[in-house]
Structure 1
Amino acid sequence: MRNEIQFQVTGKYALFTDPLTKIGGEKFSLQVPTYSAMKGIVESIYWKPTLIWFIDEVRVMKVIQTESKGMRPIEYSGGNTLAYYTYLKDVHYQVKAHFEFNPYREDLVQDRNEHKHHHIARRAVKAGGRRDIFLGARECQAYVEPCEFGEGEGFYDNVPEVDFGIMLHGINYPDETGRNEMETRLWNAKMENGIIRYIPPAECPYVRKIGKGAAKPFGPENMQSVDTLYSEVCGEEESS
C-alpha cells in the first residue's frame, strides 16, 4: 500500500487491558492487541500532527499465553494496594501500517510532503523508533525492527479462524475527526491464519460518545523551530 511501513515488534510482556477489568483494579489483558495499541506503537516510531496512521494488518507470530503477577499499584487516595495483573507473555507481532494526511489540520498543509514523511518513517523503523516502544502498558517494554510482512513461520498460520468477539477498537479524538467530542469504538475482532485485518475507524459498527473535547492547537505558542532549539541548547552548553 502507498506510504506503507512494515516492522516486527517483540517483548517479554504485553498488557492490552480489557476495559471491564479496570474497574476493580485487577487488570487482565485482551488476547490480541487493540487497533489503538498498535497505532500507539507506530506513533512512537514516527508521528507528526500532519499525519494519521492506519493499522492494516497484524500477524501473531507466537502462541497466545498469559502470566499473572502480584502488583502494588498506587492508589489515588495515597499509599499502595495489592492487585493481580494478567499479562500476555513472550509476544511477537508483524505489523503493516500506512499513513494519510490529516484533512482537519489545514494549518499544516505546507507540511504535506508524502515522500519526505515516508522516508523518515522507514528510517525511524530501522532505528527502532523515535520514542520508547511499549506494548499496551508502560512497564511492557518492547523493541521494533524492520521485517517483510509474512516472512517466517507463525504459530497460527494453519488455523483458519479464531473469533475474539466484540472488542475495543480505539477512541476517536477531535484531532482526527473534526468533531469536538470523544467517542469509543468497538468491533468484532477476528484472526484468520494468524493475521488480524483491522477495519478503518470510520467503519466500526459500534460507536459511543464518551465526552466533549477539542483539537490540540499547534502554533508558535507551543511549537519551537529547530534553529531556536539548537541555539538554546548550544548556548546552555557554552555557558556551562
Structure 2
Amino acid sequence: MRNSIEFRLYGKYALFTDPLTKLGGEKLTYSVPTYQALKGIVESIYWKPTLVYIVDEVRVINAIRMESKGVRPLDYGGGNTLANYTYLKEPCYEVRAHFEFNLNRPELEHDRNEHKHHNILRRSLNAGGRRDIFLGARECQGYVEPCEFGQEPGFYDGYGELHLGNMLHGINYPDETGSDAMEVRLWNPVMKDGIIRFIRPEECKQVRRIREMMPRSFCADDVRTADELLAEMNAGEKS
C-alpha cells in the first residue's frame, strides 16, 4: 500500500485499558490493542500535523495472557490506595499502517511531500521511533522494529474467528476531522486467524460526542524551514 510501513511491536507488559474499569480506580486491559493505541504508537515513530495515520491491520503473534498486579496509584489527596491492574503479558504484534495528508489543514499544503515523509518515517522506524514507545500505559515500555507482515509464525494461525465484543475504536479530534468537538468511536472487532482488520474512523457507526473542542490552527509565523531555524540559532549564539 502507498506510504505504508510494517513493523513488529513488542514488550514485557501492555495495558490497553478498558474505560469501563476505570470507574472504580482499577484498570483491566483489553485482550488486544485498540486502533487509537496503535495510531499513537505510529505517531511516536514519526509525527507531523501534515499527516493523518490510518492503521490497516494488526496481527497477534503471542498467545493472549494476562497478569494482575497490586499497584499504588498516585493519590494527590494524600491517601495510600492499593489498586489492582490487569496487564497483558509478553505481548507481540505485527502492525501495518499508512499515512494520508490532513486535508483539514490547508495552511500546511506546502508540506505535502509524500516521498519526503515516507522516507523520514522509514528511517525513524529503523531507529526505533523518535519518541518513547508505550504499550497503552507509560509503565509499559514497548519496542518497534521493521518486519514483513505475516512472515513470522503466530499462535493464532488457523485459529478461525474470535469475536471480541464492543470495544473502543478511537477518538475523533477536531485537528483531523475539522469538527468542533471531541468524539469517541466504538466498534465490534473480529479477529480471524490472529489478524484484526480495522475499519477506517469515518466508517464507525457508533460515535459519541464527549465535549466541545476547537482545532489548533497553524499560521505562517508558526512555520520555519531548517535553514531559518539554523540561522536563528547561529544569531542567538553570536549575541
Once residues 25 and 229 of structure 1 are traced to their aligned partners in structure 2, the CA distance between those partners, rounded to angstroms, is 45
Q: 1:72 to 1:2 in 2, by over 3 A?
A: same
**Matched residue of 1:165: which SS?**
coil
Match of 1:95 in 2: 95
Aligned twin of 1:30:
30
* Partner SS, residue 25 of structure 2: coil
1:201 matched to 2:201? The reply is: yes
Distance 1:228 1:129 in 2: 26
CA drift at 1:224 = 5.3
Q: What's the counterpart of residue 168 of structure 1?
A: 168
Shift in Å, 1:227: 4.2
1:82-231 mapped onto 2 (5 Å cutoff): 82-219=82-219, 225-227=225-227, 229-230=229-230
Q: What residue ranges of structure 1 are gaps of 5+ in the alignment?
A: none
Instruction: Report how far residue 194 of structure 1 moved.
Output: 0.5
TM-score normalized by structure 1? 0.94
SS of 2:138's partner is coil
Deviation digits for residues 15-52 of structure 1, max 9, x if unmatched? 00000011111100000000000000000001100000
CA distance, structure 1, for counterparts of residue 68 and residue 232 of structure 2: 47
Deviation at 1:232, TM superposition (A): 6.4
Identity of aligned residues (%): 62
Report the RMSD for the aligned CA atoms in angstroms: 1.8
Number of matched pairs: 239
Residues 104, 155 of structure 1: alpha-carbon distance in 2 compared, 3 angstrom cutoff: same
Q: d(CA) in 1 for partners of 2:21 and 2:222?
A: 37
Distance 1:94 1:8, change over 3 A: same
Helix, strand or coil at the partner of 1:159: coil
Q: What is the DSSP-based 3-state SS (H/G/I as helix, E as strand, rest coil) of the residue aligned with 1:128?
A: coil
Structure-2 change in CA distance of 1:76 and 1:129 (3 Å) = same
Q: Which runs of 4+ in 1 moved over 4 A?
A: 220-225, 227-239
Are 1:65 and 2:65 counterparts?
yes
Can you give the 5+ residue segments of structure 2 that lack an aligned partner in the other structure?
A: none
